Amino acid sequence: MGQEFDRGQENVADVTYTRNVLNVYDLVLKLISNTFWGCSASRVVRFYDEHVSGNHLDVGVGTGYFLDHCRFPGAKVRLVLMDANQDPIGYASKRLRRYAPTGLQANVMTPIPFDGEKFDSIGVNHVVHCLPGTMREKGVAFQNLKALMKSGAVLFGATVLGRGVNHNFLGAKWLEYSNQKGVLDNLRDSAEDLKTVLEEHFATSSVQVIGRTALFTART
């Protein structure tokens, strides 16, 4: 669940988010989020409700499930969908066409080629656990996204942790398998390291652990 990132010779996500994968993504998302990660998709939707703005960038958009189910404040919505791959952008754009979204194909681990109006909120849901490296190395993504945020804007998301939480049997097996396949890179990720990295890049931040999932916010 997330983006596909280039690590030179090694690809962090061997699973390409093709249309066939995206067609079953919502079902898998709801099943895994609740059963394996201990934080239901509906809980993450409520998290979106609490933090999404009418001027929003969503990173690693998947099928657009959370944007489709959350409540934007007000009737006017400026929505930009960002992903390293075009297929999720196209899929989610059709699903969310009522908002007339704009697509942005970019890798969050490199400077983002965007010079438009900055955003009041940025969602990075189920993205951090896909990024390569340690949590400190993943901080590059936060730095790159911060450049797109207005003063006082909020960045928020959910990420599955590998350390400091008690995974159930199925979740532990899936975590091991996904890291071996390169779909995830989060065996070293902990809530404490996430807090430290957010504090390095943002004026204020918070991390709440639900099950094996960290819900986090950060403000400029």
- With cut-offs at 50, 70 and 90, classify the pLDDT of residue 31: confident
Alpha carbon distance 57, 59 (integer Å): 7
- With cut-offs at 50, 70 and 90, classify the pLDDT of residue 74: confident
Alpha carbon distance 94, 92 (integer Å): 5
Q: Which of 128, 123, 139 is nearest to 200 (CA)?
A: 139
Residue-level pLDDT at 4: 42
User: pTM for this structure?
Assistant: 0.89
Whose tokens are 């007339």? That residue is 100
Classify residue 172 as left (phi > 0), alpha (psi -120 to 50) or beta: alpha
Classify residue 36 as left (phi > 0), alpha (psi -120 to 50) or beta: alpha
Q: Mean pLDDT over all residues of the chain? A: 90
The answer on pLDDT for 7 being more than 50 is no
Averaged pLDDT for residues 31-37: 89
Q: Which two tokens stand for residue 196?
A: 């430290």
In CATH, which superfamily holds the domain spanning 6-105+115-219?
A: Vaccinia Virus protein VP39 (3.40.50.150)
- With cut-offs at 50, 70 and 90, classify the pLDDT of residue 27: confident
Residue-level pLDDT at 23: 60
